[in-house]
Structure 1
Amino acid sequence: MDVLALIGRILFVLLFLGSGFAHIAQADAMSGYAASKGVPQAKLATVASGVLLVVGGLMVLLGVWMDLGALLLVLFLVPTAVLMHAFWKETDPQTKQLEMISFQKDVALAGGALLILALYAGYGEELGLTITGPLF
């Protein structure tokens, strides 16, 4: 089961690590999109969210205070779902559908991160293949 948990963690964080590095490396392009959604200080928010994604993703991947890493991912995902993918504000049907899909993806990933937080906080080192035990 330890190897299975590790494989699950690897698959789970691939999205966050790729997206986090893109937020940092392509901050100018991505901050334009954030600004169009009304995010204040869009470039700073884009870079900060990229750092949050990378740090949270690495913590879950490596098993270093994995509960905190999962919480960091939730702190990114929930506001992003609401602020960046507000499908209820869209009038174009295709745009509305795309934003709803992105909103639901973020909410589902937040649920997965909360599940990781709960499992790791409850079972801790019994999940195996981690560097540290839970922080919380």
Structure 2
Amino acid sequence: MDILVLIGRILYVMVFFTSAAGHLTQTAAMAGYAQSKGVPAAKAAVLGTGVLQVVGALSVLLGVWADLGALLLALFLLPTALLMHAFWKETDPGSKQNEMIHFFKDIGLAGASLMLCALIAFAGDELGLTLTGPLFDLD
């Protein structure tokens, strides 16, 4: 069972490492996009969310307070869905569909992050193949 959880953690964080790489290497372009969506301090927000994704994903991947890492990823995803993918504001059908897909992807990943946080915190030290136990205790 532990190996399945580890494989799941590896697969789960891949999307965040990929996204973080874009945030940290294409900051200007991403900041321009974020600014067009009304995000204040767009460059700082892009860099901050890139770092947040790296920290959260590394935490989940390595099993270092992985429950906290999963929570950090949810805290990235929920505002991102609302601010960056507000499909209800779009008038062009293609843009609306694209934003809706990204919105629900982020919402679904946020839900998975919250479940992962709870499951790791509940499993406690019985979850193997981690460097530390969870930060939170949900016994």
Tell me whether the two structures share a fold, i.e. TM-score over 0.5.
Answer: yes
Q: Which residue number corresponds to residue 32 of structure 1?
A: 32
Tell me whether 1:123 sits opposite 2:123 in the alignment: yes
Task: Provide, for residues 16-58 of structure 1, a one-character-per-residue CA deviation record: whole Å limited to 9, x for no partner.
Answer: 0111121011101110100000001110100000000000000
Task: Report whether the alignment pairs 1:93 with 2:71.
Answer: no
Distance of 2:22 and 2:84 partners within structure 1: 16
* One-letter identity of the residue aligned with 1:67: D
Range moving further from structure 2, 70-79 or 118-127: 118-127
Deviation string, structure 1 residues 73-129 (Cα, Å, up to 9, x no partner): 000000000000000011111100000000000000001101110100100222210
One-letter amino acid of the structure 1 residue matched with residue 68 of structure 2: L
Aligned-residue CA RMSD (Å)? 0.6
Whether 1:8 aligns to 2:11 is no
Cα distance in 2 for residues equivalent to 1:102 and 1:53: 17
Are 1:74 and 2:70 counterparts? no
User: Which letter does structure 2 place at the counterpart of 1:14?
Assistant: M
Look up the match of 1:102.
102
Q: Partner of 1:24: helix, strand, or coil? A: helix
% identity of equivalent residues:
66
Q: TM-score scaled by structure 1?
A: 0.98
- Separation in 2 of the partners of 1:25 and 1:8? 27
Q: Which residue of 2 aligns with 1:53?
A: 53
TM-score normalised by L of structure 2: 0.96
Secondary structure in 2 matching 1:4? helix
Gaps of 5+ in 1: none
3-state SS of the aligned residue for 1:103? helix
CA–CA separation in structure 1 for the residues paired with 2:75 and 2:81 = 11
- Structure 2 portions without partners, runs of 5+: none
Query: How many residues are treated as equivalent by the alignment?
Result: 136
Cα distance in 1 for residues equivalent to 2:62 and 2:25: 23
